[in-house]
Structure 1
Amino acid sequence: MTLPRIAVTGATGFIGGHTAQTLADAGLPQRLIVRNPERAPHLPLAEVAVAAFGDRSGVEHALKGIDTVLMVSAAESATRREEHMAFIDGAAAAGVRHIVYTSFVAAAPDAVFTLAHDHFATEEHLRSSGMAWTILRDNFYLDFMPMMVGDDGVIRGPAGNGRAALVSRRDVAAAAAAILQDPATHAGRTYELTGPEALTMTDIAATLSAGLQRSISFHNETVAEAYESRKAWDAPQWQYDAWVSTYTAIGSGAMEQLSTSVEELTCRRPQSLAEFLAA
């Protein structure tokens, strides 16, 4: 068996799992980096290594012999930035040559969406690591739009008339798989991944109404109302900030720019919200 030169993190999740499946379908050997080996998908030509993002030495051991890694960003947490740094440092120590990282479209130290601060810090650490890099800056995932609907059929948040160029996780995975099959061509490049249209929250509510066949509307909360309404869930402050800033980021206009990167990388048009709901 040919030894794998590609590793995929997050293989038990949607993006990592679909990327790994595409590589397997292409007949490429790969190493799946997971925390729980029992949950790892069984794919031809795939081997499994166990490491957590924050375990630098574990990451170094798991990535020995690997040239290119898909680094799917870790689960949202108060320590995600430190986990990302440890992963990058472990990959560099293992001799990895190229990391493909799933970031966020508006990543910046002063981004309205608070979780984009961690993405920006990760990008900067990756760029200074000495490894080649490719960054996929994803828009908000259209897959999650149905989850934003309350039990009463209302989406609430301070988004105003702002628009978001929502992208499907399926298209992100397809773009990542295309890059992993020819990484050198994409070294040093940043791709913004979006869907085919930029929608307001009112548009999203109408599309969900049609696709889910139920009445769904959007209520434009004030920021103060948004924080108050989310107190229904017990969460740390950083999580409240992330929930509310999802909407204020849309309202700011930072999420509305359309990109052709998905089609350029995958040779197919990106999926729309209506198409996702109909699938």
Structure 2
Amino acid sequence: MLFVMGATGRMGGAVLRHAAGRVRAGTRSGAPVDGAAEAVRFDLDDPDGFTAALTGCTEIFVMRPPTTTSRAPFERLMTAAREAGLRHVVCASVYGADTSRVLPHRHMEAAVRASSLPHTFLRPADFMQNLADRHGVSIRKDGEIAVPAGRGRSAFLDADDIGRACAAVLAAPGEHDGRGYDLTGPEALTFGEVAEVMTRLLGRRVCYRPTSVPGFVLREVRHGRPASLALVMAALYTVQRLGRAAPVRPDLERLTGHAPSSLADYLARERAAFAPP
């Protein structure tokens, strides 16, 4: 039985779609989730529920909720996982978390690494889905992407490929213990090039407007984004601006046997998400 954190989110949902065995979905509500054999209430900020959520599972898919920036919640979760007898932790982090002192994902990785449980890190590049989830309103309304990424490149990844990677890791027990994989799409693009691809494939003009970090954070907060999340987003875009975001890596294809989805593939599938209001 695989326990999946954030089962209704992008990564958790992708894991559910590609999981080969039984899955227990963890969500804040505990309501049934399509594709999961079981569903339980799970909140990383409520450790009293960890034991009940994990008992009976053998593996766990761990990810960082957007507003969690400290190590302590993951230490408590790993303690509960060890006590529940789990045999493997698949931890979805972010590209560069193993070397960056800025990205909060490093705290999650440190807790998993210190747990003594067999573990595998999946470190994805920036998700293509962020174009719709984080920038969809401005793209649909103004035809604009405004982020502090400068001319930095990133090999944007389709989040669905996280599910494929997780399934591949779990299908080979022991083979991936203690290893980390950088998961990227097939080409490294600037946001200017992303806007050009969107313009061509969506049939409407999309522009990229580089912004400052303070301006970006202020704009996000004014639009209702929690300040902690806006700061994490700014950190990720700053990594890209400095040229330290994900270049194209072969790990995903080596893990799954399939080439990663391209931005064109994603846009063809999700075209309706960018339709003007």
**TM-score normalized by structure 2?**
0.86
Q: Which of 50, 60, 63 is equivalent to 1:59?
A: 50
Q: 2:25 is paired with a residue of what secondary structure?
A: strand
**Structure 1 CA distance for aligned equivalents of residues 116 and 261 of structure 2:** 35
**Structure 2 CA distance for aligned equivalents of residues 109 and 262 of structure 1:** 20
Q: Which of 186, 193, 209 is equivalent to 2:199?
A: 209
- Which residue number corresponds to residue 274 of structure 1? 264
Please give the residue correspondences for 1:105-116 in structure 2 after superposition, counting only pairs within 5 Å: 105-108=95-98, 110-112=100-102, 116=103
Q: 1:59 is paired with a residue of what secondary structure?
A: helix
- Which residue number corresponds to residue 113 of structure 2? 127
Question: CA deviation digits over 1:1-50, x for unaligned, max 9?
Answer: xxx3x322222223223322322xx4x2333333323242254xx23333
- Which residue number corresponds to residue 181 of structure 1? 171
**Structure 1 CA distance for aligned equivalents of residues 4 and 226 of structure 2:** 30
Residue 181 of structure 2 aligns with an amino acid whose one-letter code is: Y
- Which residue number corresponds to residue 12 of structure 1? 8
Instruction: Determine whether 1:249 maps to 2:239.
Output: yes
Q: Which of 18, 21, 33 is equivalent to 1:22?
A: 18
- Which residue number corresponds to residue 148 of structure 1? 135
Question: CA deviation digits over 1:200-250, x for unaligned, max 9?
Answer: 111011111122221111122233443454453245442332233332221
**Structure 2 CA distance for aligned equivalents of residues 200 and 229 of structure 1:** 21
Contact 1:17 1:41 in 2 (8 A): no
Q: Which runs of 4+ in 1 moved over 6 A?
A: none
Residue 126 of structure 1 aligns with an amino acid whose one-letter code is: V
Q: 1:164 is paired with a residue of what secondary structure?
A: coil
Q: RMSD between aligned alpha carbons? A: 2.3
Task: Give 1:148 deviation, angstroms.
Answer: 2.1
In structure 1, runs of 5+ residues without a counterpart are: none
Residue 222 of structure 1 aligns with an amino acid whose one-letter code is: S
Question: In the superposition, relative to structure 1, how do residues 195 and 64 fare at CA in structure 2: closer, same or farther (>3 Å)?
Answer: same
Question: In the superposition, relative to structure 1, how do residues 232 and 49 fare at CA in structure 2: closer, same or farther (>3 Å)?
Answer: closer
Task: Give 1:260 deviation, angstroms.
Answer: 0.9
- Which residue number corresponds to residue 150 of structure 2? 160
**Structure 1 CA distance for aligned equivalents of residues 236 and 27 of structure 2:** 28
Q: 2:156 is paired with a residue of what secondary structure?
A: coil
Q: Which of 20, 23, 27 is equivalent to 1:34?
A: 27
Question: In the superposition, relative to structure 1, how do residues 138 and 61 fare at CA in structure 2: closer, same or farther (>3 Å)?
Answer: same
In structure 2, runs of 5+ residues without a counterpart are: 270-277
Question: CA deviation digits over 1:93-143, x for unaligned, max 9?
Answer: 21212100000112157545xxx22x1111111111111110001111012
Q: 2:187 is paired with a residue of what secondary structure?
A: coil
Residue 16 of structure 1 aligns with an amino acid whose one-letter code is: G
Question: CA deviation digits over 1:177-217, x for unaligned, max 9?
Answer: 11122231111110011000000111011111122221111
- Which residue number corresponds to residue 200 of structure 1? 190
**Structure 2 CA distance for aligned equivalents of residues 155 and 82 of structure 1:** 35
Contact 1:81 1:122 in 2 (8 A): yes
Stretch deviating more after TM superposition (133-142 or 81-90): 81-90
Aligned length: 265
Question: In the superposition, relative to structure 1, how do residues 148 and 78 fare at CA in structure 2: closer, same or farther (>3 Å)?
Answer: same
Q: Which of 150, 161, 174 is equivalent to 1:171?
A: 161
Residue 14 of structure 2 aligns with an amino acid whose one-letter code is: H
**Structure 1 CA distance for aligned equivalents of residues 45 and 26 of structure 2:** 13
Contact 1:101 1:136 in 2 (8 A): yes
